[in-house]
Amino acid sequence: MRWQLLTVALAFSPVVCGQAPDQTGAAHSCAIGPLTKTIGGNAWPVYACSDGKSLAVVSTPNVAPTWFYFVVAPKGGGYGVSGQSSGDKSITKPVFEELSAMSPDAVAALYKEVQHSGKVDAPHGQPPGNTPEQPHDP
């Protein structure tokens, strides 16, 4: 179930297929983790991305009845937070605010914490069904 939720959440985002773009537009896998962290008052799985800087926060059915995700990625001299939600803003707003308030040092520390959790939540670092999109013939 967790993979289905992650697959759906990431498929509708700039984190297409479990990947987040960096400032150059290159995509990075976000399959390191998860490490469960309390953010915005609830526990959320946090994944680290292969760029060594970005994080992905994904909802779970036990906290949010609908999916959402946030990506914390380098932007300018700091970090920017982006994401999508089809759910209740009263649940997502505190998460967005807490992630947005994190300093670059705090983001780096959380990245290292997820990275050192020793988890890669899929074989070969890629969630099931989360492979880069292939061109489709019309």
Q: Alpha-carbon distance 102 to 124, whole Å?
A: 30
- Evaluate whether 46 touches 37 at the Cβ level (below 8 Å): yes
Q: Alpha-carbon distance 65 to 117, whole Å?
A: 27
Tell me: the pLDDT tens digits for 73-128? Answer: 999 989 999 998 777 788 889 999 999 999 999 999 999 999 998 776 544 443 33
Tell me: the pLDDT tens digits for 5-52? Answer: 344 344 434 443 344 444 445 567 899 999 999 999 888 999 999 999
Residue 6: which H helix or E strand, with range?
helix 2-11
Per-residue CA distances from 108 to 12, 16, 51, 54 (Å): 26, 23, 12, 9
Domain ranges of the chain: 2-122
